[in-house]
Structure 1
Amino acid sequence: MKPEAGTALGDWFAGQGWTPADFQRATWAAYLAGRSGLVHSATGSGKSLAAWGGPLLEGLARADHDPPLRVLWVTPLRALASDTVTNLQAATDGVGLRWRVEKRTGDTGASARARQRRRPPAALVTTPESLSLLLSYRRGGEAFRGLRAVVVDEWHELLGSKRGVQLELCLARLRALAPGLRVWGLSATLGNTAEAQDVLLAGDPRGELIRGSEAKRIRIRGLLPGRHERFPWAGHLGVSLLPQVLEHLGSARSCLLFTNTRSQAELWFEAILRARSDWLEGLGLHHGSIDRALRDRIEAGLREGRFRCVVATSSLDLGVDFSPVDRVVQVGSPKGVARLAQRAGRCGHQPGAESEVLCVPSHALELVEIAAARRAWDAGRIEGRTPLRGCLDVLAQHLVTLAAGDGFQPEALLAEVRTTHAYRDLGDEAWQWVLDFVTGGGPVLAAYPDFRRVLRGDDGRYRIAGRAHAARHRMSIGTITSDAAIAVRFQGGGHLGTIEESFISRLRPGDTFLFAGRALELVRVRDLTAYVRRARGSRRAVPRWQGGRLPLSTELADGVREILAEVRAGHLRDPETRAVADVLAIQQRWSALPGPGELLAERVDSREGAHLFLYPFAGRLVHEGLAALIAWRLGRRQPATFSITVNDYGFELLADELPALDAETVRSLFHPEALVEDLLACVNASELARRQFRDIARIAGLVFQGYPGRGKSARQLQASSGLIYDTLARYDPDNRLLGQARDEVLERQLELQRLRRVLGDISDWRVRYHEPERLTPLAFPLWADRLRNRLSTERWEDRVARMVARLEKAAGPA
């Protein structure tokens, strides 16, 4: 079937010089047949037009000009909303359909919001938070009764987060308001597409999974250093490769240089600017903490081709609309195959075009990760996103949202909630607990009026307790949580962006730091604002944001193991592997290279004490839990105090003394029995859960962040939530939100399920136990990272350099 043939849509495609792809035609046909589905195709392949074409064809067939709301387009980032509106309106005008396409996000003005309530547009582009807000208004549901379709853009970015759970609940409400509603998701670079479709469509058996015609062709290559140290340490190699990076960029008209963290972005922007001051007008910096107006200027410059190079983080990963750039550079390991493919797709951003990405290692061993990423992409091994289940804090927020709107009948709402994947197994007791929580706060908090947010009317319908409760709730809708943000402003005015409070709290007036591409001196901090002026000093701190802890994915970790096993057998298949052959040769000569099904353990004695290095290759988050667990189990055999350091490859335990060890003893430490009990005993689980409870309490409505312009600091929020936590822990220990806080610590901070799998695997693995005379290339980065975190009158770099010199001498000529 070719529904576009002989229609205005087909003519418009032809006028653009395009031919509809098979997957676009298939999506249009499925939509017109009344079906929902998920479109999984590469970035830049035309997914948006695949989803938008069906509603346009339906509107043309019905001559449905200037109707009330017909299509809701949900985007994960409000920064994408303006571009989406422009693109959808262009296609709408192009086919001659008189539809208004507008946006409704946190940036939309009050007058525009009021007008949209009086006269909704035919299509509304919004975010999960703004959609919840729309449902919180009286008679808000009336606007959705004529809704025909919901399109969820970049579904892979919402899946596996509480924002995704929030959207699941909103979609369940929309399906109840508009029977026959069709829901379509758009996604790229996702490994578990069938599960993603099931979550989005609430298990609809008639849903369709439509794939793009072919996988995106991506050329992934590593930047090979001419000469590098054979004992790598994190961050040392990266900026030293700047001359080669500049040479790569020099022949391109436009380039995106991606980093994994905002700190790296700040450092690379400054390094490029120092080396090429003549690029000043064409060099940009883009990350999520920079002021929105500054980011808008960068995005506009990219569209207009005014920037030679923009240094960015994941803030430009998604579909911000601009012409494809000539070059994409990734600094540091991509950590995941999907993330690298998303970034590479920013060049060759059109159907059939090949994308290319140059990966710049921040240390020598990352070259192996780059080779593993290329192999994984070529083999189609891409990470999935695990959906969340049973988040009672999000459910409680949703109940108050509906109570603030038209109210709800509990029996009908329970049936509606159970249609979602997240609450498919919600029990009657848990449901009643949430109802009791929103109506009274539970047995301990029932005496406080602030927690009686919802009242049951005589008709059995639950409604908001009053206007004040509704207003406070609307200001708190959403599930995005982070360290409290401190605004950064020049003394004379001018907003630069936000920095996490935990960083600013370590600085004193007069200290200098790098932010938004500028060297700044802190003048004072007042009312959650850091006032600054331009700095002249050369020594600068670089802000560190909580989002910088990206763990190595399972796919990449498995790929690294496979490559190391090949090298051990004498096979050097990849140019990146050949570039670090001397590093791996020393590792093999002094100890061993671990392969699949093997755990490498190294014990090294030094003047500092006894070091035990273990390499499960399971990622940083799992290693944090494993390190604490193994230290706890070792300590039960022989009392000791341990210093712990982790990275993506393994972890180091340092003590004054260690018990006698061999391969079998090491394996016995990794038994999976009593895992949760041992974890709760060895980590400060109570304090971790107490901190996690702050986010849960905020989402569930137990603490209020404050009114606009009078927000509470992270310290105030932690104090408020901590007081509630301690009260509940003492007088209501079975409170379900306390249990959720503990579970989230185990699952998200320690990756309990992945940790459990790793323990199960290692119990069957071969343990290669070695006692080398000195630090090996795998051990050295862990040693150097631990040293970085210690206070000393000696510069960290000087001590690391001396150790490198000693190890290089022991290793002999390259």
Structure 2
Amino acid sequence: MVSRTPPSLPPEITDWFTGRGWRVRHHQSEMLAADDAGLHALLVADTGAGKTLGGFLPTLAAFCPSRTVQTPVPDGLHTLYVSPLKALAHDVQRNLLTPVEDMGLPIRIESRSGDTPSDRKARQRAKPPHILLTTPESLSLLLSYPEAPAMFAGLQRVVIDEVHAFATGKRGDLLALALTRLQALSPGLRRVALSATLADPDSYRGWLAPWGDIDSVALVEGEPGAPPDVEILLPDEERVPWSGHAATWAIPQLIAQIAAHRTTLIFTNTRFLAEYIFQCLWDANEGNLPIGIHHGSLAKEARRKVEGAMARGELRSLVCTASLDLGVDWGDIDLVVQMGAPKGSSRLLQRIGRANHRLDQPSKALLVPGNRFEFLEAFAAREAVHQGQRDGDPFRPGGLDVLAQHVMATACAGPFREDELLGELRSSQAYAWVDGAVLARVLDFVATGGYALRSYDRFRRIVRERDGTWRLAHPEFAARHRINAGIIVDAEMLDVRFRNGRSLGKVEENFGASLKPGDTFRFAGMDLEVEALRDLELVVRAARSSATIPSYMGQRMPISTHLADRVRAMLADPAGWARFPDDVREWLEVQAWRSHLPAPGRLLVESFPHRGLAYTAFYTFEGWNANQSLGMLVTRRMEDRGLGPLGFVATDYTLVVWGLRPVDDPAALLSPDILAHEFVDWVQQSYLLRRAFREVAVISGLVERQQPGQGRSGRKSGRQVTFSTDLIFDVLRKYEPDHVLIEAAWADARSRLTDVARVADVLDRAAREVDHVLLDRISPLAVPALSMIGRESLPSGAADDDLLEEAESLAAQAMRLDPAEPAEGD
């Protein structure tokens, strides 16, 4: 907390609050006190508490006439606002204009993102506004221009919104590096971060502070708001499905909820599910209620149109993804729906906060589980929200590929000295681990491509002068950097356009390449027919109907460790099952009678015959990525031991493997040395390290996706990028296995692609205690996972009807108490 009496607010601000019937909240005035004291600040406050206004309050105060009587009105760029989403920046600009115009403050506010026209970008560099709203990527590009020192020399404040959403990832690395550069250009700069959902504020204070000095960052905590009103929607017949994720059983009830509320925001976890749920709602929308769709692959024009319609109150419901998770303030939303499992209490709280935006009124939310495990997860998440428990990803060392990109951006802005750059880097907690040797390796990579690639001129991007300064090898490398720089490396996309040029958005190249003229698919809420595929464009026209929806290869969100622990605790507490629906309670009771239930600190493993094969189920609760990795490792060990593995299926909660012979000793398959031997061998031989290398090669600038000045014709396809990175990967693996990008790829493979830390948690539990239960047939707890066999590669929701049918058949066997009693359909 700020250890001083909050200062008196300028009368212009207090009058504005009074005129709107509001009061200045304590945490808002504390933000002004922290700024006056020269401190950085982290504001943690509930949604609806006025976080954004609190973050900008010192900026508004600096322009108030009562404060500028003796000092001139600030000129040039005063405050930089950084958000993870372009939509959030546009929403903040719209809401910030109101107090500025009402108070008559002489403040110019503009936004800057990849969607901003090039002429406006050039003008902003020459004559910046007082407040610039941008994203981490756009800020990094701004810092790559020679005008950057002059543009940012007078910068007073940086406001980072929704800091929890990206600080722990590579976008956070990029922003951390940008902050070090900004602080060097404007030493008096104050840093501010805002969030509603932080499990460990001190970790974020360390990330935010120069040199990790958390004492220089004031922790400002907001006034508590009304607890949210969260309910779990159940089927009318009180039977929670055994399997599936789309929860389409809830569509009729959702239509009724939409009709009963002013505006309903429906969150899904994937873009495919957004399109699928929108289609299901529209098919059931007999009352023609205005319903929209919003996700990151839709065209900018389509997103802006629906955002405007929501702001004007013209939509009754909007189906969306994480594209609207963060901070978008539409006051008429009075219900939030989460389709499927929330995966984390912080994510759920963030989404719930989109309703009402009033601190004194509870936000209303409905959780719609797709299956019984998702019901348990939703129940655990609801309890966590009510108890104020948060979760989140831990911080890890900054990535070398991001550092390489930053080095190149620094060179584009002008010559630099190695020792000065090292000092800047080490002032960031994310890169405090970097020493002179590490930086020398990164500089050598940017300058030559590394030992194995130094004979190729195209990798020689910077050179070292005799006086020790580094500069660009040729001015053309600046243009190449700016057109290729970025952190988000999605699968290559195809533009979906009508013949007249109107863009609808993007689908992944793999999906688009599978289509031929005459094929139909549904996208952006429309049925479309393919006319042609040309130059990374899919030309379409309206169609009468379609059942195909594009799928996307985005990374799955695993259940958080915190929620997983809560679910395990619920399973180990039969007394608490009375709170569950009858069918869920019966499911767990039969499981306890026939087998065991997963217990905290122990690993439950079940082995049983099924359809002539030997099955083993591991109840890890460590998320899909970790279970997928564990499945690869366990089946390799089964092969070595002659057990004849035939396959495996992974969910967030369970890993099921099957083979010709039974697993007698599961602990032997899970000995800790699996990470020292088989893990390294598997990752090196699998596609994972190549995939990780592909991403770090693009981020670091080693492989370029776009050639300057060539428009769409100069953009490489996904296949071309893959060919280039695979070729370089093979060269480096053979001739320079300690290359800086191989090291960066390994870091990604361990942390993000395989979730090796959570795999290690499973092995730790297995080393302490394995509850191995031998059964004569499938157990109730195994039904959801076994029903997924053969359907794992399908998009969630695509085969829900088949899943439900298969799950009911398996459940009939699993829930039969007398093994001699024939199950229905036997």
TM-score (norm 1): 0.94
Shift of 1:215: 5.4
Match of 1:571 in 2: 576
Structure 1 gaps of 5+ residues are none
Question: Match for 1:15: what amino acid?
Answer: G
Match of 1:522 among 524, 530, 538: 530
Q: 1:588 to 1:464 in 2, by over 3 A?
A: same
Question: Match for 1:678: what amino acid?
Answer: E
Counterpart secondary structure, 1:617: coil
Q: 1:557 to 1:53 in 2, by over 3 A?
A: same
Q: How does 1:390-789 map to 2 (within 5 A)?
A: 390-537=398-545, 540-547=547-554, 549-567=556-574, 570-574=575-579, 576-578=580-582, 580-659=584-663, 661=664, 665-683=665-683, 685-707=685-707, 708-710=711-713, 711-765=715-769, 767-789=770-792
Match of 1:217 among 213, 227, 247: 227
Q: How does 1:123-202 map to 2 (within 5 A)?
A: 123-202=131-210
* Structure 2 CA distance for aligned equivalents of residues 2 and 77 of structure 1: 32
Shift of 1:650: 0.9
Question: Match for 2:693: what amino acid?
Answer: F
Counterpart secondary structure, 1:785: coil
CA contact (8 A) 2:225 2:359 kept: no
Shift of 1:417: 0.6
* Structure 1 CA distance for aligned equivalents of residues 474 and 142 of structure 2: 18
* Structure 2 CA distance for aligned equivalents of residues 283 and 3 of structure 1: 47
Shift of 1:286: 0.8
User: Please, which moves more after superposition, 78-87 or 291-300?
Assistant: 78-87
Counterpart secondary structure, 2:438: helix
Counterpart secondary structure, 1:471: helix
Q: 1:103 to 1:557 in 2, by over 3 A?
A: same
Match of 2:35 in 1: 31
User: Please, which moves more after superposition, 695-704 or 492-501?
Assistant: 492-501
Moved over 6 A (4+): none
Match of 1:88 in 2: 96
Q: 1:207 to 1:780 in 2, by over 3 A?
A: same
Q: 1:361 to 1:548 in 2, by over 3 A?
A: farther
How far does the alpha carbon of each residue in 1:711-733 deviate from its partner, in whole angstroms, 9 at most, with x for none? 11111001011111111111112
Shift of 1:535: 3.2
Match of 2:820 in 1: none
Shift of 1:25: 1.1
Match of 1:388 among 367, 385, 396: 396
Counterpart secondary structure, 1:243: helix
CA contact (8 A) 2:607 2:662 kept: no
Shift of 1:639: 4.8
Counterpart secondary structure, 1:642: strand
Shift of 1:807: 4.0
Q: 1:800 to 1:605 in 2, by over 3 A?
A: farther
Counterpart secondary structure, 1:279: coil
Q: 1:420 to 1:430 in 2, by over 3 A?
A: same
Counterpart secondary structure, 2:662: coil
Identity percentage of aligned residues: 37
* Structure 2 CA distance for aligned equivalents of residues 6 and 442 of structure 1: 57
Question: Match for 2:243: what amino acid?
Answer: W
Shift of 1:303: 0.9
CA contact (8 A) 1:672 1:759 kept: yes
Counterpart secondary structure, 1:787: coil
* Structure 2 CA distance for aligned equivalents of residues 510 and 481 of structure 1: 31
Shift of 1:258: 1.0
Counterpart secondary structure, 2:572: helix
Counterpart secondary structure, 2:577: coil
Alignment: residue pair count: 800
Q: 1:810 to 1:434 in 2, by over 3 A?
A: closer
User: Please, which moves more after superposition, 644-653 or 133-142?
Assistant: 133-142
Match of 1:116 in 2: 124
Q: 1:807 to 1:114 in 2, by over 3 A?
A: closer
Question: Match for 1:221: what amino acid?
Answer: E
Q: 1:800 to 1:210 in 2, by over 3 A?
A: closer
Counterpart secondary structure, 1:185: strand
Question: Match for 1:452: what amino acid?
Answer: R
Match of 1:43 among 44, 47, 54: 47
Counterpart secondary structure, 2:673: coil
Shift of 1:229: 5.8
Match of 1:265 among 274, 282, 296: 274
CA contact (8 A) 1:102 1:125 kept: yes
Question: Match for 2:45: what amino acid?
Answer: S
* Structure 2 CA distance for aligned equivalents of residues 72 and 572 of structure 1: 50
* Structure 2 CA distance for aligned equivalents of residues 614 and 599 of structure 1: 7
User: Please, which moves more after superposition, 84-93 or 29-38?
Assistant: 84-93
Q: Is residue 318 of structure 2 the alignment partner of residue 318 of structure 1?
A: no
Counterpart secondary structure, 2:573: helix
Question: Match for 1:609: what amino acid?
Answer: L
* Structure 1 CA distance for aligned equivalents of residues 782 and 101 of structure 2: 61
Q: Is residue 812 of structure 2 the alignment partner of residue 808 of structure 1?
A: yes
User: Please, which moves more after superposition, 15-24 or 102-111?
Assistant: 102-111
Q: 1:799 to 1:380 in 2, by over 3 A?
A: closer
Shift of 1:790: 8.7
CA contact (8 A) 2:162 2:193 kept: yes
Shift of 1:596: 1.5
Counterpart secondary structure, 1:571: helix
Q: 1:362 to 1:145 in 2, by over 3 A?
A: same
Shift of 1:456: 1.9
CA contact (8 A) 2:265 2:333 kept: yes
Shift of 1:798: 5.9
Shift of 1:59: 3.6
Shift of 1:5: 4.2
Shift of 1:239: 0.8
Shift of 1:397: 1.0
Q: Is residue 331 of structure 2 the alignment partner of residue 331 of structure 1?
A: no
Q: 1:402 to 1:86 in 2, by over 3 A?
A: same
* Structure 1 CA distance for aligned equivalents of residues 119 and 474 of structure 2: 24
Q: Is residue 81 of structure 2 the alignment partner of residue 76 of structure 1?
A: no
* Structure 1 CA distance for aligned equivalents of residues 684 and 238 of structure 2: 40
Q: 1:201 to 1:472 in 2, by over 3 A?
A: same
Q: 1:749 to 1:416 in 2, by over 3 A?
A: same
Question: Match for 2:774: what amino acid?
Answer: E
Question: Match for 2:726: what amino acid?
Answer: G
Question: Match for 1:555: what amino acid?
Answer: H
CA contact (8 A) 1:8 1:96 kept: no
Q: 1:802 to 1:345 in 2, by over 3 A?
A: closer
Counterpart secondary structure, 1:727: helix
Structure 2 gaps of 5+ residues are 818-823
* Structure 1 CA distance for aligned equivalents of residues 373 and 806 of structure 2: 20
Match of 1:284 in 2: 292
Question: Match for 1:268: what amino acid?
Answer: I
Counterpart secondary structure, 1:547: coil
Question: Match for 1:295: what amino acid?
Answer: R
* Structure 2 CA distance for aligned equivalents of residues 435 and 261 of structure 1: 38
